[in-house]
Amino acid sequence: MQFHIDAFKFFFENAFYAANPLSLKAITKKNLPYFIGWIAVFIWLYSYFLPMGEFRFQSRLYNGNVGSSMLYYYIWLFSGSLIPSLFHVKRFIPMTMYSVLVTLTCFGVMSFTNPGIVSEGIMVIASICIGHIFASYVYGFFMVLNNSEKFYSMVLAILLPRVLMMGKPFINKADYRLDASVVIILIIMLILLGCSHFLRSHILQTPSDAKTKVPVKAYSLMPLVFVELALNDVIAPSALHHMAAELSKRQIESFYFFGILIGIFAVIFLQKRFSINIYNMLNISFALLAAGFTVNLASIQNSNVGYISAVCFGSSYAIGFINIYYLAGFMAKKFQSILFYRIGILLSALYYFIGFIFQNTFKESGLLAPPVMMALISIGIVLLFFIMSPFFIKMLYSGEWIDDTYRSDVTKCSRLEARLKDFKMTPSEIEVCKLLLDGYTLRQISGMQSKAYATINTYCTSIYRKLNINSRAELLLFLQDYKT
């Protein structure tokens, strides 16, 4: 019996990080405008502007022409990635308020403008401004929000746009005097205006000048971002859209939303209860993504199984997005590197661009049915990342930043010192522990610190007690991955 208990304990100690659960109490008042602004941007983009699966509010802003609107998405991508690269943070973030005002003006003018050159020109201006607004709040998410704020803002950013889209048939009833979706977007833009005013007036408190060198291993995150953004946010919704010809579009949306709810519940439960290793969470997302595309292929013969594909895609989207943004977010804040932020946002724009091109190319392909081509290639990409899992785990979990996953916020001290602080060690105990790891004896440490041997021995006893160990050998083994 004891053997089974020990085996069970060993599994959980290796599968999960021993961690402090993310707490809602860690959401701070001073960061609330960044927190609310990030959620508002997601609601705006995913329920109104982006074409992800075309499950969005309908508006005269698009003039009913989905194909021509692709130009606006590309403009959004390029402006959102180029503005942070061309301008300093202290310049483009304060200007966000003006981009919101311009977009709000465009929004109003478009309500009275018929389709044509004028409306298209207005939409181009609005798309540039939307890219600017998104880039500013991405910066706030990465560099300002603490870990708990990142986590819960992503949960709400994933959930709320989908709730609005599920309520679309009810809020867009014809008997309403006002278009409810337009009112909602107007409210969101006013919220963003208020948050952007706060960003402008508090720009001096926004970090921007750090020149920390980012470890090369950290850039192994970027390929993972590609899988989550391009496949989960573009290709998978496109596959669902193809199924809408065979199945009820409303039912597909409902099952996709149900999958998102499952994914959000799984993320909160596993992170709060077990603080599961983030890469394991991403692997779960990849597995669900592969399952979704596999079932999508099977739906060609039996369309009813397409609902299972929608659930898989929804769960993969929620789990993958929350965790990849959380991982990228605390890594960026740990380094406080403008270069890392710029490379990340440039590559993200490139990944979306590739996803859109990939989607449109296979719509016009005559080799195989577009859903088959997209599914087969997507499955191949996901399997490739599964094969490379050991590489990514080694890169991501051998870094200086990884222990910050289970803290309320990133630390600025060394990985060893931060780990010892997790065990409530005093500054004196931390110094003694460092010297013990360097191989010094207690008497040598006593002489180096000009303290009595009995005092150093007391520190050593306290260190062993807090780490639940009994010898120098166990100390070295316990902290072997943290030695500087």
The dihedral over CA atoms of 471, 474, 475, 476, expressed in degrees to the nearest 10, equals: 120
Give the residue numbers spanning the domain of 38: 21-209
Of 180, 209, 238, which residue constitutes the final position of a domain? 209
Residues 244 and 113 in one domain: no
The residue behind tokens 């959000």 is 264
Choose among 281, 289, 351: nearest CA to 323: 281
The residue whose two tokens read 């960061």 is 31
Cα dihedral 404→405→409→412 (10° resolution): 20
**Cβ partners under 8 Å of residue 117, min gap 6:** none
Structural domain contains residue 160? yes
Are both 282 and 247 inside the same structural domain?
yes
- What 53-57 contacts at long range (C-beta under 8 Å, 24+ apart), as own/partner pairs, is 53/237, 53/238, 53/240, 53/241, 53/256, 54/237, 54/241, 55/165, 55/237, 55/253, 55/256, 56/165, 57/164, 57/165, 57/168, 57/172, 57/181, 57/184, 57/185
In a domain, 10, yes or no: no
Are 316 and 437 contained in the same domain?
Answer: no
- Same domain, yes or no, for 281 and 363? yes
Q: What is the pLDDT of residue 209?
A: 64
Write down which residue in 166, 192, 209 finishes a domain. Answer: 209
pLDDT of residue 63: 44
Asked whether residue 77 is assigned to any structural domain, the reply reads yes
- Is 128 in the same domain as 113? yes
Q: What is the pLDDT of residue 322?
A: 93
CATH of the domain at 149: 1.20.1250
Same domain (yes/no): 58, 87: yes
d(CA 321, CA 225): 9
Q: Please report the pLDDT score of residue 62 as a whole number.
A: 44
Look at residue 93 in the predicted model and tell me its pLDDT.
92
Contact 298, 319 (CB under 8 A): no
Predicted local distance difference test score (pLDDT) of residue 56: 40
Q: Which of 151, 285, 278 is nearest to 231 (CA)?
A: 285
Report field, pTM of the whole predicted structure over 0.85? no
Do 473 and 395 belong to one domain? no
What are the φ/ψ torsions at residue 276 (nearest 5 degrees)?
A: -65, 145
User: What CATH number did the domain enclosing 436 receive?
Assistant: 1.10.10.10
pLDDT at position 247: 64
The count of domains in the chain is 3
Regions of the chain where pLDDT drops below 50: 1-20, 52-67, 366-368
- Residue 84 in any domain: the answer is yes
In which region does residue 248 sit, left (phi positive, over 0), alpha (psi from -120 to 50) or beta (all else)?
beta
Give the whole-number percent of the chain exceeding pLDDT 70: 84
Q: CATH number, domain at 270?
A: 1.20.1250.20
Same domain, residue pair 110 and 186: yes
